[in-house]
Amino acid sequence: MTIKDVAERSGVSVSTVSRVLNNHPDVSEAARSRVMETVRKLHYVPNNSARDLVRPQTAAIGLVVRGAGNPFFSGVIRAVEQEINAAGYTMVLHQIRSGEDELQAGAELARSKRLLGVILLGGCFDYTPEQTAALGIPFVCCSFTNSFGSLNKDAYSSVSIDDQAEAYRAVTFLIRQGHKNIAILLDSKQDHSISELRYRGYCQALLDAGIAPDTALVAEAGTFDMAAAYEGTCRLLRSQAEFTALFVIADSMAVAAMKALHDHGLRVPEDCSVIAIDGIDMSAYTIPTLTTLIQPVGAMGKESVHSLVDIIEGRGGNRHIQLRTALRPGGSVGAGPVFTSANDVKIKP
């Protein structure tokens, strides 16, 4: 079932069929309707591979997303799509599973679809120039940046938050509320990724306040999923470590952590405050509402597209944009315990 079949059945040439299919103006009404009729009758559907192969540079931008179920991504994807369309381009979305290589996927997509640029959503923090060379077109890392890699700054663009600084901010917020014994729930201390960066911010905030980080207060879940976060929090609680506040590196994990605290008979925030980073939908519906630093997903998508389009259209080179989160006060953070000497805790101005 090809365009040729349609042509024969309609008594016209393949070019006429092609013209009809692509809404070209120079086709007689008679031919057009005859072709359409055949298309319907034969249930003809064009082969996109063949189209992609032959069509000249379609103004398309790719979006490679790793991690299908990440709720944080949906908002970004929406924004990216909207912005790409607004800029007069077409978005080609490509989801990959955790096992796959986003650079490889991006490169293949770029070739097949003749992309002008690629946005990577949820990739690695440690690319080498060698790895990214395969892409061959401008790309922007959206929601992450090359913190652990060796990419040259002007070889790629990025739009992200400063993970370390934001974690610092979250923990400092807890300290300002009077907390001294602050635990952290993370994926891993050394994942060469988001978890490690936020851990650094946590440590730094403590140090700057004159509090010595205590490894007994670090709970490593090993992954980002809720079950692991729940378990990690339980282990922390069973360890008898003392803390009045918990910084969780991701909202979804924080939701599970709050449940674990509750199941152990602890009240949030009376017995333990909880703060996180991300701002996914669901964390607005916990009881109490999770206090969190909301990532600007809309702006993130928007800026990613802008950076890319500017490069594509020759308006300058690679940029690295750092966005700030917004604190969403919830009910999950309360005041810390009252000390006789309040100056136990030093707070940076």
Partner DNA sequence: TTGAAAGCGCTAACAT
Partner DNA sequence: ATGTTAGCGCTTTCAA
> x/- contact string, 213-232, with a copy of itself (CB under 8 A)?
------------xxx--x--
Q: Is 285 in the site for a copy of itself (CB under 8 A)?
A: yes
Instruction: Give SS3 for 26.
Output: coil
From the list a copy of itself, DNA, none, pick the one residue 16 interacts with, judged by a Cβ distance below 5 to 8 Å according to partner type.
DNA
Sign of CA dihedral 12, 14, 19, 22: positive
Q: Is 71 in the site for a copy of itself (CB under 8 A)?
A: yes
Q: Is 74 in the site for DNA (CB under 7 A)?
A: no
Give the C-alpha separation, 295 to 67, whole Å.
18
CB of 167 to a copy of itself, least distance (A): 23
Q: Is 43 in the site for a copy of itself (CB under 8 A)?
A: yes
Binding test (CB under 7 A) with DNA, winner from 8, 21, 67, 241: 21
Give the C-alpha separation, 228 to 230, whole Å.
5
Q: Is 235 in the site for a copy of itself (CB under 8 A)?
A: no
> x/- contact string, 96-135, with DNA (CB under 7 A)?
---------------x------------------------
Structural contact between residues 219 and 186, judged by C-beta atoms closer than 8 angstroms: yes
The set of residues, in sequence order, having a beta carbon less than 8 Å from that of 125 and lying 6+ positions away, is 144, 145, 146, 147, 148, 149, 192, 193, 194, 197
Six token digits for residue 221: 């879940």
| DSSP of 195-207 | HHHHHHHHHHHHH
Q: Which residues bind a copy of itself (CB under 8 A)?
A: 1, 43, 45-50, 52-53, 68-69, 71, 73-74, 77, 81, 93, 95, 97, 104, 107-108, 110-113, 133-134, 136, 225-227, 230, 252, 255-256, 258-259, 262, 281-282, 284-287, 289
